[in-house]
């Protein structure tokens, strides 16, 4: 089967039909009709075998994850997904692998309301580049640079689990890596993250979210991006980070805290919110946890007084 | 230098400032404000070292080419470029290579009026995935499926040169490949294609362009895509294809014609146009050449009666 048959079989009409799509896969370009008064948010993420995921992992999960990490950026901007493109590079055409990969992609695509509208398939070392597009209300955009001294820092889910899951995935054999139904909850947190679109839906029209970022590189690293863009500092209550019991059992208390601070791949939101809006936001999203506050003095301080070595993930360090 | 310093040095503010960009590189997403009444055209293309370009080629040209092939798709839809994202995968950080790569990218970006608005840098085998976005008038979209029996088939530039250039590039040594100022015109046609945005600007509001596609896979292959989408056939005047004298000297008449029919990487437009508009279109774009016409009987026939073996490029055949 050639390139065109392959695309046709696995990627035609992947995801929900949406009213703003005038033309999907199959022409030189896809065509979108922007809803009136909206801005478009755009983000792109590349996932490479052996770096962002284990090459022998369940292809269903690889497909899910490639889209999840990109959707997380849309949520962090308060944008509603409208569609995505997929640039997929494959070493060879394996029909079963592709069927599973596209099924995982489709599953999240339907759940998040974000159809595939275009793409490119090429031959080479396995990687997937997903670009997501979404619409947002100009008056409700969550940028990184809006945090103010006195704002509370909140996260919308638990931290560090993905780091524990990665460790567990590395310790099992190829057969188990290929069977996602055998995975522990921590492995699922790493390979099948739920991007934070539900909390963004809950908060989309609320006032009081002054700045937001998704936690992908690690809490400290992403917190620093937000603080530097906003020109403030932070005091982090590192003894009250939301950590799953499973992770503490696996790593012990100290290492679990370290994973929560710098592990990465959490795909929850970190937001700077007005203190007087915390109650409303927590009512709308009960998993909200306050982890610190923004300060006038720059830099990040940990309330415990501990120091840390690694801040987050950097592809080229 | 880490990932963030790298991005800052080479990719911050690449390309012209544009009024529809509300937020560029540096947040979770870029933000675009759609011009009223426009549709958005979107296309994505991956270029892989050793497959779509020679890894030791001049990095300036690699940057130019990665954007050129994507811009060609926008032109084929009659869309005006508004911005692009770059997902760049690098085996290692070489400052000189990146400076040249981004300079080539910047040069075309400025020429085409298409700024970089976001991206992702990762570590791995060298490849560049460019996604371009543009705005088009809904009443002037050039789809593939609008060709009618009796339409003339025209191309907007010469065919086959890139194939000849690739052959020449493969025959020279690494040092010469790295020096774009030493390249022949055919090598330039292959590595530094001029995407057809100028002809699209000239024709953007004209009636009579019933269907269009850019010639990337090869004339016969791309012609077939257009014909199948439109439900018509074609008679191609294969003895009057626009072929550069350099190419005939390099390959001889027969092989030059074959390169023109199936070589690929030409990045000119193939359009089905109303015969009564040909004069106006040719006045606006003098390089327009009629290469055949659309017929009711399906399939492609060559007027010379010749048969052909290879239709075009397929990554997985």
Structural domain boundaries in chain A: 3-140, 152-302
List CB contacts (< 8 A) between B89 and chain A: 46, 48, 127
Q: What CATH class does A3-140 carry?
A: alpha beta
Is residue A222 within a helix (H) or strand (E), and if so which, with residue range?
Answer: helix A219-230
Q: How confident is the model at residue A3 (pLDDT cuts 50, 70, 90)?
A: low
Q: What is the structure's pLDDT at A316?
A: 45
Mutate to test the interface with B, among A5, A32, A42 (most CBs of B within 10 A): A42
pLDDT above 90 for A16: no
Q: How confident is the model at residue A203 (pLDDT cuts 50, 70, 90)?
A: very high
List CB contacts (< 8 A) between A23 and chain B: 141, 143
Contact flag A73-B3 (C-beta cutoff 8 Å): no
Interface size A-B, in CB pairs within 8 Å, comes to 207
Q: What is the structure's pLDDT at A89?
A: 92
3 state DSSP class of A129: strand
Percentage helix, strand, coil for chain B under 3-state DSSP, each rounded to 5: 40, 25, 40
Looking at the complex, report in whole angstroms how far the Cα of residue A253 sits from the nearest Cα belonging to chain B.
30
Percent of chain A with pLDDT over 90: 79
Rounded to the nearest 10 degrees, the angle between the axes of helix A59-76 and helix A95-112 is: 30
Looking at the complex, report in whole angstroms how far the Cα of residue A311 sits from the nearest Cα belonging to chain B.
13
Q: Which positions of B make up the binding site?
A: 28, 43, 45, 52, 73, 119-120, 144, 214, 216-217, 265, 313
Q: How far is it, in rounded angstroms, from Cα A226 to Cα B308?
A: 59
Q: What is the structure's pLDDT at B317?
A: 36
Contact flag B41-A26 (C-beta cutoff 8 Å): no
| Alpha-carbon separation of residue A308 from A237, A238, A302 (angstroms) | 14, 11, 9
Q: What is the structure's pLDDT at B315?
A: 45
Q: How confident is the model at residue A10 (pLDDT cuts 50, 70, 90)?
A: confident
Looking at the complex, report in whole angstroms how far the Cα of residue B227 sits from the nearest Cα belonging to chain A.
12
Structure tokens at B205: 């509001």
Report residues of chain B scoring pLDDT below 50: 313-317
pLDDT digits (tens, 9 = 90+) for A75-86: 999 999 999 999
Residue A124 in contact with partner chain B when CB distance is under 8 A = yes
Average pLDDT over chain A reads 92
**A-contacting residues in B 78-107 (Cβ below 8 Å):** 79, 85-87, 89, 93
Residue B317 in contact with partner chain A when CB distance is under 8 A = yes
3 state DSSP class of A101: helix
pLDDT digits (tens, 9 = 90+) for A280-298: 999 999 999 999 999 999 9
What superfamily in CATH does domain B152-302 come from?
A: PurM-like C-terminal domain (3.90.650.10)
Q: What is the structure's pLDDT at A200?
A: 97
| Alpha-carbon separation of residue B57 from A124, B47, B50, B89, B216 (angstroms) | 18, 13, 10, 16, 20
What are the φ/ψ torsions at residue A170 (nearest 5 degrees)? -70, -25
Q: How confident is the model at residue A9 (pLDDT cuts 50, 70, 90)?
A: confident
Structure tokens at A117: 């509208």
pLDDT digits (tens, 9 = 90+) for B171-211: 999 899 999 999 999 999 999 999 999 999 999 999 999 99
List CB contacts (< 8 A) between B33 and chain A: 39-40, 138
Beta strands, E only, chain A? 21-23, 30-32, 39-48, 80-90, 116-123, 127-136, 152-155, 209-214, 233-236, 269-273, 289-295, 300-302
Looking at the complex, report in whole angstroms how far the Cα of residue A252 sits from the nearest Cα belonging to chain B.
31
Q: What is the structure's pLDDT at B11?
A: 82
Percentage helix, strand, coil for chain A under 3-state DSSP, each rounded to 5: 40, 25, 35
Residue A43 in contact with partner chain B when CB distance is under 8 A = yes
Q: How confident is the model at residue A317 (pLDDT cuts 50, 70, 90)?
A: very low
Contact flag A120-B2 (C-beta cutoff 8 Å): no
Q: What is the structure's pLDDT at B310?
A: 58
Q: Which positions of A make up the binding site for ATP?
A: 119-120, 144, 216
Looking at the complex, report in whole angstroms how far the Cα of residue B27 sits from the nearest Cα belonging to chain A.
6
Q: What is the structure's pLDDT at A18?
A: 78
| Alpha-carbon separation of residue A244 from A159, A162, A248 (angstroms) | 8, 11, 7
Q: How confident is the model at residue A14 (pLDDT cuts 50, 70, 90)?
A: confident
ipTM of the predicted structure?
A: 0.89
Q: What is the structure's pLDDT at A308?
A: 65
pLDDT above 70 for A221: yes
Looking at the complex, report in whole angstroms how far the Cα of residue B218 sits from the nearest Cα belonging to chain A.
14
pLDDT above 60 for A26: yes
Residue A41 in contact with partner chain B when CB distance is under 8 A = yes
Q: What is the structure's pLDDT at B311?
A: 61
Q: Which positions of A make up the binding site for Mg(2+)?
A: 28, 43, 45, 73, 120, 214, 217
Of B46, B136, B317, the CB nearest to A122: B46
Q: What is the structure's pLDDT at B201?
A: 97
């Amino acid at each position: 089967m050639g390139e065109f048959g392959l695309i046709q079989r696995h990627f035609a009409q992947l995801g929900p039909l949406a009213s703003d799509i005038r033309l999907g896969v199959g022409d030189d370009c896809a065509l979108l009709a922007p809803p009136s008064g909206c801005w478009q948010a755009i983000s792109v993420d590349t996932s490479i075998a052996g770096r962002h995921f284990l090459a022998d992992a369940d292809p269903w999960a690889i497909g899910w994850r490639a889209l999840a990490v990109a959707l997380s950026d849309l949520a962090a901007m308060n944008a509603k997904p409208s569609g995505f493109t997929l640039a997929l590079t494959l070493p060879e055409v394996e029909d079963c692998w592709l069927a599973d990969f596209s099924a995982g992609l489709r599953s999240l695509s339907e759940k998040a309301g974000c159809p595939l509208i275009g793409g490119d398939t090429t031959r080479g070392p396995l990687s997937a580049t997903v670009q997501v597009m979404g619409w947002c209300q100009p008056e409700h955009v969550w940028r990184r640079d809006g945090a103010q001294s006195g704002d509370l820092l909140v996260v919308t889910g638990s931290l560090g689990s993905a780091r524990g899951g990665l460790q567990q995935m590395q310790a099992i054999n190829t057969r188990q890596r290929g069977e996602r139904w055998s995975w522990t909850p921590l492995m699922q947190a790493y390979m099948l993250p739920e991007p934070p679109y539900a909390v963004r839906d809950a908060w989309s029209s609320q006032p009081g979210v002054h700045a937001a970022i998704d936690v992908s590189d690690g809490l400290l690293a992403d917190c620093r991006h937000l603080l530097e863009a906003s020109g403030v500092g932070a005091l982090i209550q590192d003894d009250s980070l939301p950590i799953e019991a499973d992770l503490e059992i696996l790593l012990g208390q100290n290492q679990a805290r370290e994973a929560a601070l710098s592990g990465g791949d959490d795909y929850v939101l970190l937001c700077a919110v007005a203190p007087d809006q915390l109650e409303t936001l927590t009512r709308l999203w009960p998993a909200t946890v306050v982890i610190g506050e923004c300060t006038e003095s720059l830099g990040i301080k940990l309330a415990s007084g501990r120091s840390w070595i690694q801040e987050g993930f950097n592809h080229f360090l």
